[in-house]
Structure 1
Amino acid sequence: MNRRDELAANLADVRARIDRACAAAGRDPAGVALLAVTKTFPASDVALLADLGLTAFAENRDQEAGAKTAELAELRPGAAVRWHMVGRLQRNKARSVVEWADQVDTVDSGRLADALAKAAGARGGPLDVLIQVSIDGDPARGGCPLPELPQLADHVAQKSELSLRGVMTVAPLEMSPAQAFDALQGAVTRLRDDHPVAHVISAGMSGDLEDAIACGSTCVRVGTALLGSRRLASP
Structure 2
Amino acid sequence: MTDRKDEIAGNLAAVEERIGAACAAAGRPREEVTLIVVTKTYPAADVRILSELGVRHVAENRDQDAAPKAAECSDLPLAWHFVGQLQTNKVRSVVGYADVVQSVDRSRLVTTLSREAVRAGREVGCLIQVALDAGESARGERGGVAPGGIAELADLVAGSPGLRMDGLMTVAPLTGEYAGRERAAFERMMDLSTDLRRTHPAATMVSAGMSADLEQAVAAGATHVRVGTAVLGVRPRLG
With normalisation by structure 2, the TM-score equals 0.93
Q: Find 1:177's aligned residue among 176, 182, 201.
A: 182
Q: Find 2:128's aligned residue among 124, 127, 131.
A: 131
Amino acid at match of 1:12: A
3-state secondary structure, aligned to 1:23: helix
Amino acid at match of 1:9: G
Q: CA deviation at 1:105?
A: 0.6
Whether 1:85 aligns to 2:86 is: no
3-state secondary structure, aligned to 1:225: helix
Segment drifting more, 152-161 vs 122-131 = 122-131
Amino acid at match of 1:181: F
Q: For each residue in 1:97-136, what CA deviation from the matched residue of structure 2 results, as whole angstroms up to 9, or x when unmatched? A: 1112111110001110011001111232321111111111
Q: Find 2:221's aligned residue among 216, 221, 226.
A: 216
Identity of aligned residues (%): 49
Separation of aligned partners in 2, 1:225 and 1:215: 20
Amino acid at match of 1:146: P
Amino acid at match of 2:202: V
Q: For each residue in 1:49-102, what CA deviation from the matched residue of structure 2 results, as whole angstroms up to 9, or x when unmatched? A: 1000001111100011011112223xxxx3211111110001111111111211
Aligned to 1:159: 160
Q: For each residue in 1:164-190, what CA deviation from the matched residue of structure 2 results, as whole angstroms up to 9, or x when unmatched? A: 111100000132101111111111101
Structure 2 residue ranges without an equivalent (≥5):
none
Separation of aligned partners in 2, 1:59 and 1:139: 20
Separation of aligned partners in 2, 1:148 and 1:136: 13
Q: Find 1:228's aligned residue among 228, 233, 238.
A: 233
Whether 1:119 aligns to 2:116 is: yes
Amino acid at match of 1:53: G
Amino acid at match of 2:55: L
Question: What's the RMSD between the two structures over aligned residues?
Answer: 1.1
Separation of aligned partners in 2, 1:110 and 1:158: 12
Aligned to 1:104: 101
Amino acid at match of 1:193: R
Amino acid at match of 2:112: A
3-state secondary structure, aligned to 1:165: strand
Separation of aligned partners in 2, 1:151 and 1:37: 29
Aligned to 1:32: 33
Separation of aligned partners in 2, 1:224 and 1:113: 30
Separation of aligned partners in 1, 2:168 and 2:82: 13
With normalisation by structure 1, the TM-score equals 0.95
Q: For each residue in 1:177-224, what CA deviation from the matched residue of structure 2 results, as whole angstroms up to 9, or x when unmatched? A: 011111111111010010001000000000000000011100000000
Separation of aligned partners in 1, 2:196 and 2:166: 11
3-state secondary structure, aligned to 1:34: strand
Whether 1:187 aligns to 2:192 is: yes
Q: Displaced runs of 4+ in structure 1, greater than 2 A?
A: 122-125
Separation of aligned partners in 2, 1:90 and 1:131: 15
Separation of aligned partners in 2, 1:170 and 1:91: 21
Amino acid at match of 2:219: A
Count of aligned residue pairs for this structure pair: 230
Q: For each residue in 1:5-64, what CA deviation from the matched residue of structure 2 results, as whole angstroms up to 9, or x when unmatched? A: 111000100000000000110001101000000000000001001000001111100011
